């Protein structure tokens, strides 16, 4: 069984003069959302074997802070290939992972993440919001088999789901 967690980076600053899209940093709201989603994942005992992240600043910050929140000490790779690239290129990166890796976080951008979800599962998701997480599981032994099979949607979470009700277990893990 293989699992992929497709994670859109947390909310970033808007476009500012003199700052490229690649250099945009997280907003305070993005950090708050990251803490909420990170707490949820930690409470569920979810941690990857490997983190693959776009090397855009907002994705890197998301990957680093999420890893800290989860107590993740494994390998994190920052890849140019995950910054606004084609679906096929991202799929190739997934297929190239070692079979010993069973759980993978991919932190990136729309529309690639949406295209991955909508191609790799029978579910259709219009848009993954910032700090949204889509978990897919695949009954395969090797990542190279992923293009021939549809995965199961385990869950789809995003920060606004916690806007009006946040379980006490999550609320108590957030910084004050």
pLDDT per residue over 77-111, tens digit each? 999 989 878 888 999 999 999 999 999 999 999 89
> Based on the number of CB atoms within 10 Å of its own CB, is 52 exposed (0-12), middle (13-18) or buried (19 or more)?
buried
The structure's pTM equals 0.90
Q: What is the CATH number of domain 2-10+25-171?
A: 3.40.50.1240
Beta-carbon neighbour count of residue 141 at 10 Å?
Answer: 11
Q: What is the rounded end-to-end Cα distance, in angstroms, of the chain? A: 38
146 in Cβ contact with 94 (< 8 Å):
yes
pLDDT for res 59: 94
In angstroms, rounded to a whole number, what is the distance separating the alpha carbons of residues 124 and 11? 23
Q: Which two tokens stand for residue 99?
A: 């079979």
Q: What are the extents of the domains in the chain?
A: 2-10+25-171
| pLDDT over 80 (residue 75) | yes
| pLDDT over 70 (residue 22) | no
In angstroms, rounded to a whole number, what is the distance separating the alpha carbons of residues 119 and 136? 11
Q: Above pLDDT 70, what percent of the chain?
A: 89
């Amino acid at each position: 069984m293989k699992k992929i967690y497709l994670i859109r980076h947390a909310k970033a600053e808007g476009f500012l003069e003199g700052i490229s899209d690649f250099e945009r940093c997280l907003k305070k709201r993005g950090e708050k959302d990251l803490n909420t989603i990170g707490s949820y994942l930690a409470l569920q005992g979810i941690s990857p074997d490997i983190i693959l992240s776009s090397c855009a600043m907002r994705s890197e910050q998301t990957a680093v802070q999420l890893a800290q929140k989860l107590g993740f000490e494994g390998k994190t790779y920052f890849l140019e290939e995950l910054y606004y690239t084609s679906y096929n290129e991202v799929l190739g990166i997934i297929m190239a992972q070692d079979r010993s890796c069973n759980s993978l976080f991919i932190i990136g951008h729309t529309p690639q993440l949406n295209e991955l979800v909508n191609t790799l599962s029978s579910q259709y998701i219009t848009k993954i919001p910032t700090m949204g997480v889509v978990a897919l599981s695949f009954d395969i032994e090797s990542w190279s088999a992923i293009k021939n099979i549809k995965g199961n949607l385990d869950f789809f979470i995003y920060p606004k789901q916690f806007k009006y009700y946040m379980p006490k277990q999550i609320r108590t893990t957030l910084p004050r």
